[in-house]
Copies of this chain bind each other. A is one copy, B any other.
Amino acid sequence: MDDEIAALYAERGKDPNSVGIVETQYWTCQDEPLDLECGRRLTPYTLAYETYGELSPQRDNVILIFHALSGDAHVAGYHTPTDTKPGWWDLMIGPGKPMDTNRYFVICANVLAGCKGSTGPSSINPETGRPYGLSFPLVTIGDMVRAQERLLSHLGIERLLAVVGASMGGMQALEFVVQFPERVASVLAIATAARMSTQGIAFDAIARHAIMSDPNWRQGDYYGGQPPASGLSIARMIGHITYLSEEQMTTKFGRRLQSRESYGYDMAVEFQVESYLDHQGNSFVQRFDPNSYLYITKAIDYFDLAAGRHSLVEAFSGVTAEFLVVSFTSDWLFPTHQSKELVRALQANGVRTTFLEITSDYGHDTFLLPNPELGSAVSAFLGQVAAREWAATRREDA
């Protein structure tokens, strides 16, 4: 979708509702090691993050966004005046947009194990002076959100108006509210699930296999040399099939050839869909670390909210936040039935939950695309939550 979204913005020219130029910030936790689920400790660690809008004096207008597998902290706006492409969810965040920066203070941090400024396998291990590579500890979705909770504490933020995420971002939102129920007024979980599905694990397993069987991978110790670009490219191509729907692929590409009038009867890339995937694979290797792809997909595959509990219902037993759960009809990576499972478990706990299944042909990627129904739902949900929260916080302050 990247190129299309860029094209969309290019067409629109300067967006009057952009948050404008933003800067990535960095926070390094030096003094408090993070105890990871794998039993190891991580220290020090850095989180890259961005913020949009202004923190209210009551510190009661904070939305924490969690990004998906290939996302980063740069959700909205531009890093330089000449950037042609804004942050990955710019459609959603800005003055007058669904997450209205005239009202809310929005934060997003790059996940641990990522490669966009937060500590991950490509970071320098202070003990050796060399990149961690595979010596980086495996972090879980739980570890990721614990690190981000500390960032919030560092920023002096106690309670969140909302935690918001789609896909792996939704997993983090769910994990966050389960671990820190008292810190969250509401949860917006989009195109996500309480656990990675078997088929999802299968796709991730092949992606990892492709990266690790690339001879350039060298057990993860490729920094300074050639990265396993070919393996990462295959991983990304597989991912892209799962992000689109069959309907949309057919509409968008059909059986059309890319630059030939007729079949070439050779092994060249010739179908448009083939060329699209090839391009997606090739451009991804310019911006993503293959080891981060291994670590993050493993965190996704491990994610299972009910694990170690009797049931998913039990997982949500301490939750007081209210929920908006959203799925897309043509999303086959995180299908609607997984959202419904979340809704049932929440309702069994008496959690106030709104469920919205949006009709869309755009598959899992719908959340990244212009969708008025999604935009209105997010805007209305946040407005209601804010009204209720502020009735309390702002009366006390008055």
Contacts and interface: CB of A to CB of B under 8 A. Distances in A.
Interface of A: 37-39, 134, 137-138, 195-199, 201-203, 205-206, 208-210, 212-213, 215, 220, 230, 233-234, 237-238, 241, 246, 249-250, 252-255, 263, 265-267, 269, 271, 273-274, 277-278, 281, 294, 298, 301-302, 304, 332, 335
Contacts of A237: 205-206, 209
A265 B255 CA distance: 42
A341 B39 CA distance: 56
A241 B209 CA distance: 14
Contacts of A304: 255
24 contacts: A37-B265, A134-B267, A137-B265, A138-B266, A196-B255, A197-B250, A198-B246, A198-B254, A199-B241, A199-B246, A199-B250, A201-B255, A202-B241, A202-B249, A203-B241, A205-B237, A205-B271, A205-B277, A206-B277, A209-B233, A213-B233, A220-B267, A234-B234, A267-B294
Total identical chains: 2
Contact of A234 (B39, B213, B249): B213
Contacts of A212: 267
Contacts of A138: 265-266
A271 B246 CA distance: 27
A-B pairs, top 3 by smallest CB distance, nearest first, are A38-B265, A205-B274, A138-B265
A266 B301 CA distance: 12
A246 B111 CA distance: 29
A122 to B, nearest CB: 15
A40 to B, nearest CB: 8
A8 to B, nearest CB: 22
A269 B238 contact: no
Contacts of A230: 213
B267 A208 contact: yes
Contact of A301 (B201, B234, B271, B301): B271
Nearest to A236: B206
Given A38-B265, A134-B267, A273-B205, A198 B253 contact: yes
Contacts of A208: 267
Contacts of A335: 246
A259 B237 CA distance: 30
Given A267-B298, A277-B205, A198 B255 contact: yes
Contacts of A197: 246, 249-250
A302 B269 contact: no
B198 A210 contact: no
Nearest to A256: B198
Contacts of A298: 267
A258 B294 CA distance: 19
A215 B335 CA distance: 37
Nearest to A238: B206
Given A267-B212, A302-B263, A198 B273 contact: yes
Query: Which of A213, A250, A255, A298 neighbours the largest number of chain B CB atoms within 10 Å of its CB?
Result: A255
A134 to B, nearest CB: 7
Contacts of A196: 255
A138 B266 CA distance: 6
A332 B245 CA distance: 12
Contact of A215 (B37, B195, B215, B233): B215
Contact of A209 (B203, B206, B234): B234
